[in-house]
Structure 1
Amino acid sequence: MPSETILTEQEQWNYFVRDFFIAAIFQGRFAYCLMSLHAVNPSILTYFVNSDPYPYLWANMVYGITVMIYTRPSLSVIAPFNRMVFGVLGSLMFNHSSMICYDWLTTLYPDSPYLLTFMGFMSGRLMMVHLLAFLYHIDTRSNIPGTIIRRDFAFETMYLY
């Protein structure tokens, strides 16, 4: 008979918080993916939801990327209020610059909806991968006592050494 592990209330809370953060991060990434399509070709999502999803996608993008930045190991040594401010500011900068890029794409190819949709999707993926690479770089180069960051070969290939 396998032995059961009884978790303390604090351990249960820690698991809940970890799972909540993981869900929030994926929620933000999913909203960002949908926004990369909606920003360049609004008719796609509007067709399915019969309303403009922009405000909901924007709120979820900002929220999810804020949580992603807030939970980074490199920020764990900073006071929670400052971590939250850094997360919100970083998320707003990233998401706003993405929207400017999508707007730029729509001025470049105003009469090519298929090309715009492809370019919006691909540029969104590229920007998200580079945000993750930047956060990985900061985390792996930070000296945080008691924390070991798992190395990721895909991101390690960006270094010249």
Structure 2
Amino acid sequence: MADVTVLSEEEQWRLLVENFCLAAIFQGRLAYCLMSIHAVNPSIMNYCFGTDLYPYLWANMVYGIAVMIYCRPCLRPIAPFNRMVFGLLGSLMFNHSSMICFNWLSHIIPDNIYFLTFMGFISGRIMMVHLLAFLYHVDTRTNVPGVTVVRDSTFEAMYSR
């Protein structure tokens, strides 16, 4: 007979919240990835899905990145309502500035749709990696009792000169 581990109600709740946050974070990242293409070349998404996905992508990327910011170790000492507000505001600022960048790309590369789509995708990846690097920096430099952030050699390389 298999060994069955019984989790307490508190452990089950913590596991549910962790899994929910992980799913929301990936949902936001996927929506951001798709939006980086859709913002510069909406005809691709319209062709593939037959509808304009902008409202769905916008809502999912704002929600997902807000949850990602909310779950950061550096924000754990802050009251939940303020964490939620910080997550939402941070997400809105990041996503809005990304959309401004995509709009700017559309104006400077108007004639080559393939290059524009490629640049939208690449610039979206660059902005997302730098957001993650910034959040990593803040997390690793914040002293939160009982929270240890695992060091990532990829992000640690940004400190070498």
**TM norm structure 2:** 0.98
* Alignment match, 2:78: 78
Deviation per CA, 1:92-124: give whole Å up to 9, x if none.
Answer: 000000000000000001111000010000000
Count of residues paired in the alignment: 161
Structure 1 counterpart of 2:126, one-letter code: L
Structure 2: tracts of 5 or more residues without a match: none
Q: Deviations for 1:71-93, whole angstroms, at most 9, x for unmatched residues?
A: 00000000001000000000000
Identity of aligned residues (%): 68
Q: CA deviation at 1:3?
A: 2.8
Query: What CA RMSD, in Å, does the superposition of the two structures yield over aligned residues?
Result: 0.9
**Which stretches in structure 1 are left out of the alignment for 5+ residues?**
none
**What SS does structure 2 have at the residue aligned with 1:157?**
helix
Q: Which residue of 1 aligns with 2:32?
A: 32
Give, in whole Å, the separation in 1 of the partners of 2:115 and 2:102.
12
Partner residue in 1 for 2:49: 49
Q: What is the alpha-carbon distance in structure 2 between the residues aligned to residue 143 and residue 13 of structure 1?
A: 25
Deviations 1:4-41 (A, max 9, x none): 21111121111111000000000000000000000000
1:123 counterpart residue number: 123
The alpha carbon displacement at 1:2 in A equals: 4.8
Q: Which segments of structure 1 move beyond 3 Å, counting only runs of 4 or more?
A: none
